[in-house]
Amino acid sequence: MKAATSAVPCMALLLASSLVAPLTAQRDAGAHLASKSYQILAPDIASGGSTASAKYRLHGSFGSGIVASRASSKGFVLMGGSAAADQNLTTGKPILVAIQANRTDIDVQGRHDLLGIELALGAGTVVTVDGLSAKVQSTLRDRVSILLPALKRPGWVAVQVKNGGGVSTLDKGLAVRPFLDMPTPLRIGDPSIVVYEGSPGDVTVWILATGRLPTLIPIAPFRYGLGLNPISMVVLPPIVVSASSGQLRFPIPGIALKRPLYLQTLSLWKKAGYTEGSFSNVLSL
């Protein structure tokens, strides 16, 4: 285990700088803004009673004895009020918000719920996960229950719902274990972290390379395949996952490093989902 720990700095041989475009929500007029992966919902601002915008009607109410008021200083004015929600919004198109639960194992079919609004518009609802058709078991306006297809690719995959009102997609809708992720980009002066997620008891073999393959090399009996160029590979000592979350977390220093650098793991474990084991997705550092 000491050898594995000392090898951890080798994993940070590259800086992946990126710019994050800011997202803002429209103020004072209920609206939603969306990208391929994110949606920001903004309410109307009201003082009680009813108010409306082009797409929303908000019915506000106060509990007994509550009085809306303002608090202020030289630098700000704080509006008082109470939260309100309305279940009768009509957007005319589906909006997929989340998947419950948003984790699964490679090659495992299980039941999951899609959460959102206007998910039952039109004559039928079609759901695809990573481009594969999922079996729709029940459909409600705010929830669709599905049976997953047997997913063959680890990592974050897209989930799409389509009905008579249109299409809504979450690019990072479902995570297929075992997978690698870097929640925040690596930049100079801004350290990041590499997260492995599998199952408790996994024996993980970490592989670094400066090149990746155009197509996977299948290696039986393991699922998925090797995605790194064997000529440039460095194999690190295995690490056992002891955390109940099934996670391993490795800090990456925010320094400029030579690129490209790719990371992949081979997870060995006799359990339903990826018996005898599986390669993870390839992570670009």
Q: 175 and 102 in contact (C-beta within 8 Å)? A: yes
The pLDDT value given to residue 124: 86
Angular region, 82: left φ>0, alpha ψ -120 to 50, beta rest: beta
Alpha helices in the chain (DSSP H): 2-7
| Run of H or E residues at 41 | strand 39-42
Domain boundary residue among 129, 145, 176? 176
Q: Which residues of 137-154 are buried (b: 16+ CB within 10 A; e: fewer)?
A: eebeeeebbbebbebebb
Task: Please identify which residue in the block is written with the tokens 């103020």.
Answer: 27
The pLDDT value given to residue 255: 64
* Residue from 156, 163, 97, 92 nearest 129 by CA: 156
Task: Tell whether 159 and 242 lie within a shared domain.
Answer: no
Q: Answer whether residue 21 is part of any domain.
A: no
Say how far apart CA 34 and CA 272 lie, in whole Å.
37
Task: Tell whether 191 and 261 lie within a shared domain.
Answer: yes
Domain boundary residue among 147, 176, 205? 176
DSSP structure class, residue 183 = S
The pLDDT value given to residue 101: 86
Task: Tell whether 198 and 229 lie within a shared domain.
Answer: yes
Say how far apart CA 197 and CA 120 lie, in whole Å.
33
**Residues of the chain whose pLDDT is less than 50?**
1-36, 42-49, 62-64, 66, 82, 84-89
Domain boundary residue among 176, 207, 228? 176
Q: Answer whether residue 66 is part of any domain.
A: no
Q: 100 and 115 in contact (C-beta within 8 Å)? A: yes
Say how far apart CA 244 and CA 199 lie, in whole Å.
8
Whether the full predicted model's pTM is greater than 0.85, yes or no, is: no
Task: Please identify which residue in the block is written with the tokens 């474990």.
Answer: 269
Q: Give the domain CATH number at 196.
A: 2.60.40
**Is residue 83 classed as helix, strand or coil in its secondary structure?**
coil
Give per-residue pLDDT as tens, 39-49.
Answer: 555 444 444 44
Q: For residue 260, what are the CA distances in angstroms to 11, 128, 222, 264, 285? A: 12, 32, 26, 14, 7
* Residue from 224, 265, 232, 226 nearest 248 by CA: 265
The pLDDT value given to residue 122: 80
Q: Give the domain CATH number at 125.
A: 2.60.40.10
Task: Tell whether 258 and 275 lie within a shared domain.
Answer: yes
* Residue from 184, 187, 183 nearest 247 by CA: 183
Say how far apart CA 201 and CA 216 lie, in whole Å.
26
Q: What is the count of structural domains for the chain?
A: 2
Q: 270 and 214 in contact (C-beta within 8 Å)? A: no
Task: Tell whether 160 and 236 lie within a shared domain.
Answer: no
